Amino acid sequence: MDIYKILEKLPHRYPFLLVDRVLELEKNVRIRALKNVTINEPFFQGHFPNRPVMPGVLMLEALAQTAALLAFETQGTGVDDNSVYYFVGIDGARFKRPVEPGDQLLLDVQMDRHKAGIYKFNAQAYVGDALAVSAQLMCTVRKVS
């Protein structure tokens, strides 16, 4: 899935769109996506000027956006003007290595379960073979007015 298809599926836009390409997708099972981390990211100006590091919350957000793509592809839908994809929980988040400019963040998300509109995912992000972050994510889609 290229960036144009991602833009059709997710409501996020620059500077908050954190998925550049989907490499693999197996509906209702798993997804593998890519985030290219460049020095031009706006958060690097303040985090940290002398040694830029991608904030952990943004790594989790990249995983959540990847999870949303899996959920939408599984359902055969996407977001619209009347719905929002929300985080409802993050459990067991562990940060194992810093992510720096020039890294490629490989985002691996597996669907654990889907019940009553709540999705639960197991998620990991890697730089090369090194685990950068892992967490269990819970998300839902809700209609808004």
What is each CA distance from 63 to 49, 58, 98, 108, 130, in whole angstroms? 25, 9, 16, 8, 16
**21, 30, 47, 114: which one is catalytic?**
47
Q: Residue 12 catalytic?
A: no
Residue 9, CA atoms < 13 Å, CB-side half-sphere: 23
DSSP 6: H
Residues 6+ apart with CB under 8 A from 3: 20, 21
Catalytic positions, written as ranges:
47
